[in-house]
Amino acid sequence: MTGLGETSTVAPGRAAGRPVGRRRNPVVRERTLVILGQLGIIGALVLAWEFAGRSGAINSRVFSYPSAIIERVFSMLAGEDLHGNTVFEHLLATGHALVVGFAIGAVLGVALGFVLGRSALLARVLEPYLLGIYSIPKIAIAPLFVLLFGIGLESKIAVVVMGVFFMVFFNTFAGVLSVNEEFINIARIMGANGAAVTRRIIVPAALPSILLGLKMGVPFGVIGAIIGEYIAATKGIGWLIIRSTSFFDASGLFAALAFLVVSTWILSQLVALIEARVLRWQPQRRQELVTY
């Protein structure tokens, strides 16, 4: 109780007898709304697909329907024989080619992107050749890799390298070109050598573009692995998709696609997590990494 002339000790924004509630961070609220919206769209599509498949509105032998596909996914997880291999062996075959090809393509892309980004003359010399190779569809050049490396892992790795290399190269090249030359000149005036300039100025400035290229390279690497298995392979998710199609196994086809989508999403999230951690010095990254 307060007398006349006394001020109330109740804090602004706090109701008498009630503690102030914790305000929800707008980033968390926005992320929640995005997730709910995505789940709502997926749920609506799945229900419509299930109804259409069971009612005969669409040909279930061609499109199947979600409940049959889910049943087939669990059957695969339980160890169903898929043309002599389990789904885990097919995933391992595709993953092996993807990991090796991704590593090679990423290293080559970053290295060449740095070299051409710092050498305008060499970039102009090699530009038409790089653009010419990049313009060739991967599915058109895959048979050439089969002729060069034979049927097996090596040809799949080569196709993956092609897909990953250009994504990483173009982004690294753009990132290096975007470095402010004034910062480099100032560092050299202050006595920094070439290695110090690269480590402390060029790499941090180009790092966001490099990581973007790596993130974009994941789906392109997966596409390359699948194309390689379409052309010449004895196992893998791409080979399983082709076999399921040839046997008119719609449920098996969509189940294989589900494993492919989930695997690609997991890899993309891992790269995105690395990107958020490496770039945590950026204000927006620090805000995203706040935990509650």
- Pull the structure tokens for residue 207: 């790092």
Q: Do the domain assignments include residue 24?
A: no
Q: Do the domain assignments include residue 41?
A: no
Triad 281, 283, 284: Cα angle to 5°: 115
* Structural domain count of the chain: 1
pLDDT by 10s per residue, the chain, length 292: 444 444 444 444 444 454 555 556 777 888 889 999 999 999 999 999 999 988 888 888 888 889 999 999 999 999 888 878 899 999 999 999 999 999 999 999 999 999 998 888 898 998 889 988 888 888 888 888 888 887 778 888 999 999 899 999 999 999 988 888 787 788 788 877 777 777 788 888 888 899 999 999 999 999 999 988 888 778 889 999 988 888 888 898 999 999 999 999 998 888 888 888 887 766 655 444 444 3
Distance CA 63, CA 51 (A): 12
Q: Do the domain assignments include residue 35?
A: no
3-state helix, strand, coil in the chain (%, to 5): 75, 0, 25
The pLDDT tens digits for 170-210 are 999 999 888 887 877 887 888 777 777 777 888 888 888 99
| pLDDT at residue 55 in the model | 87
Asked whether 66 and 50 are in contact (CB, 8 A), the reply is yes
Mean pLDDT of the chain: 83
Q: Do the domain assignments include residue 16?
A: no
| pLDDT at residue 109 in the model | 94
Q: Do the domain assignments include residue 194?
A: yes
Read off the CATH number of the domain in which 253 is found. Answer: 1.10.3720.10
Q: Do the domain assignments include residue 19?
A: no
Q: Do the domain assignments include residue 159?
A: yes
| pLDDT at residue 4 in the model | 45
- Pull the structure tokens for residue 172: 């690294």
Q: Do the domain assignments include residue 2?
A: no
Distance CA 162, CA 174 (A): 19
| pLDDT at residue 51 in the model | 92
Cα end-to-end distance, the chain, whole Å: 37
Structural domain harbouring 280: 66-78+86-288
- Pull the structure tokens for residue 67: 């409940």
Distance CA 205, CA 273 (A): 19
